Structure 1
Amino acid sequence: MTETTLSPSDHLDALPDAARRVAQLLRERGHAKPVVMLPETGKTSAEAAAGLGCDVAQIAKSILFRRRDDDAPVLVIASGANRVDERKVAAQVGEIGRADAKFVREKTGYAIGGVCPIGHATTPVTLIDADLFALDSLWAAAGHPHAVFNLTPQELAALTGAPVVDVALRDA
């Protein structure tokens, strides 16, 4: 791996603003692992996995939808190896639609490619992909397309308080 790791004792000033907010929030919540800056973008699961030297399935990607009834943000944290079945999500939270970049930034405070599972401007309805729980270690975006942090599926559930459900699109 060629990323830069910033330990809690390092100056957070080296992180971009959004990643610094995430690092501080993680620290406040007792998460001891540092935010890692990738030299190349981690906007896609494949890019992040390549930069980290891990399996694509270990990337906990954050996908934001817009609930049609009330315009609420719906965050699905899915395995990087999975496509999200929007029908399964809708069965859990109500009818959903796609969220554009403006909606994502407004509701989360993060740009697409850096949406963190926590610390959103508007608290989203959140679902966690059950397939993540077959893994020991995950990587999630930390507020910036180059920033990630490591955690377990159990830590993800504890940090978000979200239910764990089947959201993966399965071949028929």
Structure 2
Amino acid sequence: MANPQHPSVSHVIADLQRHGLHPEVTWFDDATTTAAAAAEALGIYVGQIANSLVFTLDEEPILVLTSGAHRVDTDWLGPHLGGTIGRASKDVVKAATGQVIGGVAPVGHPHPVRTFVDTALRGYSEVWAAAGHPKTVFPTTYEQMLTITAGTPTAVRP
């Protein structure tokens, strides 16, 4: 698909460029609603997909970038982070990130969002994350992800 203009994607690209990164954003013809679908479309392992999940930690929005190979254990992660984790509503996601569920990128948000990066992602030389729209992804590395998000490396399950 040609690279259409979208404000959220433009914010992501600008944020990446501020960090000296210039990855090519891939646009899919259809939204890839699961990590498995995105991995299949890219021809990569599902674990290389960095799912961007917005939760609340004691009512504060947080972003958890987790490997597509497993799910976040919120009952374990909340106490590990010193609080209680809840699912963020679509309104909280949009307010915190400026993006919609399914397209939340690690960057490009109106304000910094406290971010935790799944340590399982460090096992891959390349990971792919949403680029601000449900039909977009971009390649990066685990180390770059930590840098661009000021994220904390964190296991997301025991």
* Partner Cα separation in structure 1 for residue 67 and residue 32 of structure 2: 14
Alignment of 1:1-172 (within 5 A): 14-68=4-58, 71-90=59-78, 91-168=80-157
- Counterpart AA for 1:95: T
**SS of corresponding position for 1:61:** strand
Gaps of 5+ in 2: none
Aligned residues: 157
The secondary structure found in structure 1 opposite 2:100 is coil
Could you tell me how far 1:34 is from its partner in structure 2? 1.5
Fraction of identical pairs, as percent = 35
Tell me, in whole angstroms, the C-alpha distance in 1 between the residues paired with 2:76 and 2:149. 20
Which residue of structure 2 lines up, in the alignment, with residue 11 of structure 1?
A: none
CA separation in 2, counterparts of 1:122 and 1:27?
17
> Aligned to 2:145, what secondary structure does the other structure show?
helix
Check whether the contact 1:40–1:51 (CA below 8 A) recurs between aligned residues: no
Q: CA deviation digits over 1:36-83, x for unaligned, max 9? A: 111221232112112211111100001110122xx2111110000111
* More off after superposition, 31-40 vs 132-141: 31-40
With structure 2 as the length reference, what TM-score do the two structures score?
0.92
| Aligned-CA RMSD value | 1.6
In structure 2, C-alpha distance between the alignment counterparts of 1:158 and 1:128, rounded to whole Å? 11
Instruction: Note the C-alpha offset of 1:123.
Output: 2.2
Structure ranking higher on relative contact order (CA contacts 8 Å, 6+ apart): 2
Q: Identify which range, 133-142 or 48-57, moves more after superposition.
A: 48-57
User: Partner letter of residue 27 of structure 1?
Assistant: Q
Q: Tell whether the 8 Å contact from 1:66 to 1:72 is kept in structure 2 after alignment.
A: yes
TM-score, normalisation: structure 1? 0.85
| 1:11-50 deviation digits (Å, cap 9, x = unpaired) | xxx3322112211221222112121111221232112112
**Contact kept in structure 1, 2:13 and 2:108, CA below 8 Å:** no
Deviations 1:117-170 (A, max 9, x none): 1122342221111100011110000000011110011111111111111113x5
Q: Which runs of 5+ in 1 are unaligned?
A: 7-13
